[in-house]
Amino acid sequence: MTTSIVDNGVNVAALLGAREAFADMPEIARFQWRSQVSWVNGTHSEAEVETFSGFGDEQRHSKRFAFDIDHPLQFAAEDNGITPVEYVLVALGGCLTAGIAAVAQQRGIQLRSVRATVAAEMDLHGILGADPDVRNGFSGVRVDYSIDADASRAEIEALVAQSQKRSAVYDVMTNPTAVTVNVN
Amino acid sequence: MHHTTTVVIGAGHCGLAMSRCLAERSIDHVVLERGEVAHSWRTQRWDSLRLLTPNWMTRLPGHTYSGDDPHGYLDMPGVVRLLEDYATGAPVLTGTTVTSVQPFGQGYLVRTDRDAWQARTVVVATGATGAPAQPVVPLPPGITTVTAANYRNPGQIPDGGVLVVGASASGIQIADELARSGRSVTLAVGEHVRMPRTYRGRDILWWMDASGVLDERWDVAPDLVRARNLPSMQLIGAPRTLDLNTLQSNGVALVGRLAGIRDASVQFSGSLANVCTLADLKLGRLLNTFDAWADRTGVEAEAPQRFAPTRTPPPALSAPLGRGGIESVVWATGFRPDFSFLHVPVFDRKGRIVHDGGVTHAPGLYVMGLPFLRRRKSTLIDGADADARELAEHLVGGLDVLAGRAS
């Protein structure tokens, strides 16, 4: 048997260490994620993400990240950034792909390339209030993966399935979440 | 106050197996049973239920199946007769409900609704199914609800649409029976364990037993937390496979896991396709291990086979509750043990009993019959034998230590 070191750039030991630490101190597993969004003009807003809390303390990213949110010219907007719904696709693809890397690392599978095509169907009758039978959100989301890895097809399918099972964004999108919006 | 060396709580297969092992070791003991022998089997099972394990697997310490139908599946009266016969000669006190167990001197004080017992050691054999584990979902009034523990037959359920929540052994059997009764059945499916009744011409339990899967031990299991929380296998005690494809062919509508209630509608998760994929892949891996084992050991069996992937219908994410929609709900969402009588600090922050293969941190306090207690088969009737023998050994060892200290 040959042994080779599988490296997908995921520190599995740290992840498993966190799981053990949570067993002793479950309260440190409580996290809060944040974003600040400021209207610029028209449908253009700018979102900043810098701080979060977790591990029993205030935390921050290594730098402040900023994102433009807008709508395309076809919507008579200025296209200063991608649409909010496209950020949802970015989030889903990013979450599932990170999960695939982590699960592959833990299962000793070397990845060479992972590519997801994320597509969502939407009927604009919903957000325009033109048809009460059509919902605002997606009518369906489809993710197609092309994965090159040292593994059988069944092992790769299992990676993708396990990643969905442990994905926060997949859960957010497939299950209802209580949303409270206040005006201060 | 009575005195004995060991109080065993519960006269089901686990408690009776332990009693047999203690008797073999001449340990003075009593088995306290709230109802009659095999109480849960008599009172918390639906009418058509049969054991999921074939008759030849109904093995207990000092008992093997000797009937003429080794490949059949016992019905509930059959299980009750089996355990009544097995209990002959065991020191069982029926109609005695344990109300509390607490530390007392070098052992425990066991209070019941009749007498109190003082014992050096206590074996809790009340089982894993003390209470239904039911999610808190605020159903509107007028919706009939039953749990798998108090479901008896389709006559209990109003005509009209019924939602069965949970697709493990109980849920799939109840959904099948309700669909056959002519009701419109929706089955909410979360993570599940797909299992064919037979594989390569032999019962699937034969493969698990013979290949050693059921004997996997808790102290070497790679992920014990996960193994202990696995849902029950999708099986029915009959010579046929009952899986999500069969159910759909019989008219049962599949939806995702129950997610919530909104505006008089029940909502389902959009994860149905993935939980089906997970279960299909997991079954494939299990069958691979059986094939590899069969090749290694030269087992005679029919050719390897693979089962069609689970068909997933177009997603339905909600269904209306009430007249014309879902008018009743069957909760087949599993069980949890009920240890509310146990006043000994052996629980974790979520109220689960902490034990190492049935041995708790409290000296002389043991538990049996929980998922993967000492082996994958710990919750099967066939699992009681090895667990009872080993825990009886441990118990006797502890008594010897106590005796050594006293002398």
Of the partner residues A154, A170, A176, the one whose CB lies closest to the CB of residue B281: A154
Contacts A–B by Cβ distance under 8 A: 38
Largest CA distance in chain B: 75
Q: Any chain A CB within 8 A of the CB of B190?
A: no
Of B258, B31, B228, the closest CA to residue B123 belongs to B31
- B190-217 pLDDT, tens digit per residue, is 999 999 999 999 999 999 999 999 999 9
The 3-state secondary structure of B149-160 reads: CCCCCHHHCCCC
- pLDDT greater than 60 at residue B339: yes
Helices in chain A by DSSP H: which ranges?
12-24, 84-106, 153-165, 168-174
Domains and CATH numbers, chain B: 2-130+337-406 (3.50.50.60), 135-331 (3.50.50.60)
Interface-testing mutation among A163, A167, A174, with chain B (most B C-beta atoms within 10 A): A174
DSSP H or E run through B365: strand B365-367
Q: Any chain A CB within 8 A of the CB of B260?
A: yes
Whether B270 sits inside 8 A of A174 (CB atoms) is yes
DSSP B20-33: HHHHHTT--EEEE-
pLDDT at residue B147, as a whole number: 95
Q: Any chain A CB within 8 A of the CB of B309?
A: no
Helices in B108-236 by DSSP H: which ranges?
169-180, 204-211, 224-228
Confidence of residue A2 (pLDDT cuts 50, 70, 90): very low
Q: Is domain A83-174 given the CATH code 3.30.300.20 in the classification?
A: yes
With beta carbons under 8 A apart, name residues in chain B contacting A140. 315
Q: How far is B171 from chain A (nearest CA, A)?
A: 21
- B357-401 pLDDT, tens digit per residue, is 999 999 999 999 999 999 999 999 999 999 999 999 999 999 987
- A28-51 pLDDT, tens digit per residue, is 999 999 999 999 999 999 999 999
Going from N- to C-terminal start, the domains of chain A cover: 11-82, 83-174
Of the partner residues B191, B259, B349, the one whose CB lies closest to the CB of residue A26: B349
Whether A157 sits inside 8 A of B281 (CB atoms) is yes
Q: How far is A21 from chain B (nearest CA, A)?
A: 15
Q: Any chain A CB within 8 A of the CB of B270?
A: yes
Q: Read off the tokens for B177.
A: 């029976």
Whether A162 sits inside 8 A of B349 (CB atoms) is no
Strand B116-124 with B107-112, pairing: antiparallel
Q: How far is B256 from chain A (nearest CA, A)?
A: 9
Whether A174 sits inside 8 A of B267 (CB atoms) is no
Confidence of residue A96 (pLDDT cuts 50, 70, 90): very high
- B247-288 pLDDT, tens digit per residue, is 999 999 999 999 989 888 999 999 999 999 999 999 999 999
Of A15, A8, A11, A4, the closest CA to residue A110 belongs to A8
Q: Say which DSSP state A10 is in.
A: -
Helices in B261-321 by DSSP H: which ranges?
272-297
Whether A154 sits inside 8 A of B269 (CB atoms) is no
Model confidence, pTM: 0.92
Q: Read off the tokens for B154.
A: 């389709």
Of the partner residues A165, A170, A175, the one whose CB lies closest to the CB of residue B259: A175
- pLDDT greater than 70 at residue B105: yes
Q: What value does the mean pLDDT take over residues A97-120?
A: 97
Q: ipTM > 0.95?
A: no
Whether A170 sits inside 8 A of B259 (CB atoms) is no
Of B312, B198, B306, the closest CA to residue B245 belongs to B312
Q: How far is A158 from chain B (nearest CA, A)?
A: 7
- pLDDT greater than 80 at residue A115: yes
- pLDDT greater than 80 at residue A59: yes
Ranking B87-101, B123-137, B273-287, B340-354 by mean pLDDT, the lowest is: B123-137
User: Do A83-174 and A11-82 have the same topology in CATH?
Assistant: yes
DSSP H or E run through A40: strand A36-41
Instruction: Please tell me the CATH code under which domain A11-82 is placed.
Output: 3.30.300.20
Q: Any chain A CB within 8 A of the CB of B274?
A: yes
With beta carbons under 8 A apart, name residues in chain A contacting B263. none
Tally of helices (H runs) and strands (E runs) in chain B: 9, 21
Q: Any chain A CB within 8 A of the CB of B103?
A: no
**Distance set, CA B11 to CA B93, B285, B386 (Å):** 9, 37, 17
With beta carbons under 8 A apart, name residues in chain A contacting B224. none
Alpha carbon dihedral A128, A130, A134, A139, in 10-degree steps, equals: -40
- pLDDT greater than 70 at residue A3: no
With beta carbons under 8 A apart, name residues in chain A contacting B270. 173-175
pLDDT at residue A133, as a whole number: 87
- Cα B246 from Cα B196, distance rounded (Å): 11
Distance of CA B49 to the CA centre of its chain: 13
The 3-state secondary structure of chain B reads: CEEEEEEEECCCHHHHHHHHHHHHCCCCEEEECCCCCCHHHHHCCCCCCECCCCHHHCCECCECCCCCCCCCCCEHHHHHHHHHHHHCCCCEECCCCEEEEEEECCEEEEEECCCEEEEEEEEECCCCCCEECCCCCCCCCCCEEEECCCCCCHHHCCCCEEEEECCCHHHHHHHHHHHHCCCCEEEEECCCECCCCEECCEEHHHHHHHHCHHHCECCCCCCHHHHHCCCCECCCCCCCCCCHHHHHHCCCEEEECEEEEECCEEEECCCHHHHHHHHHHHHHHHHHHHHHHHHHHCCCCCCCCCCCCCCCCCCCCEEEECCCCEEEEEECCCEECCCCCECCCCECCCCCECEECCEECCCCEEECCCCCCCECCCCCHHHHHHHHHHHHHHHHHHHHHHHHHHC
With beta carbons under 8 A apart, name residues in chain B contacting A168. none
Distance of CA A160 to the CA centre of its chain: 14
Of B1, B43, B36, the closest CA to residue B15 belongs to B36
Contact B121, B395 (CB under 8 A): yes
Q: Any chain A CB within 8 A of the CB of B350?
A: no
Q: How far is B88 from chain A (nearest CA, A)?
A: 45
Distance of CA A60 to the CA centre of its chain: 18
- Cα B308 from Cα B274, distance rounded (Å): 16
- Cα B176 from Cα B236, distance rounded (Å): 10
Confidence of residue B406 (pLDDT cuts 50, 70, 90): low
Confidence of residue A97 (pLDDT cuts 50, 70, 90): very high
Whether B256 sits inside 8 A of A26 (CB atoms) is no
With beta carbons under 8 A apart, name residues in chain A contacting B278. 158, 161-162, 165
DSSP H or E run through B266: strand B265-268
Whether A176 sits inside 8 A of B267 (CB atoms) is yes
Of the partner residues A162, A170, A176, the one whose CB lies closest to the CB of residue B259: A176
Q: Which residue on chain A is closest to B257 by alpha carbon?
A: A175
Whether A174 sits inside 8 A of B278 (CB atoms) is no
Of the partner residues A165, A175, A176, the one whose CB lies closest to the CB of residue B274: A165
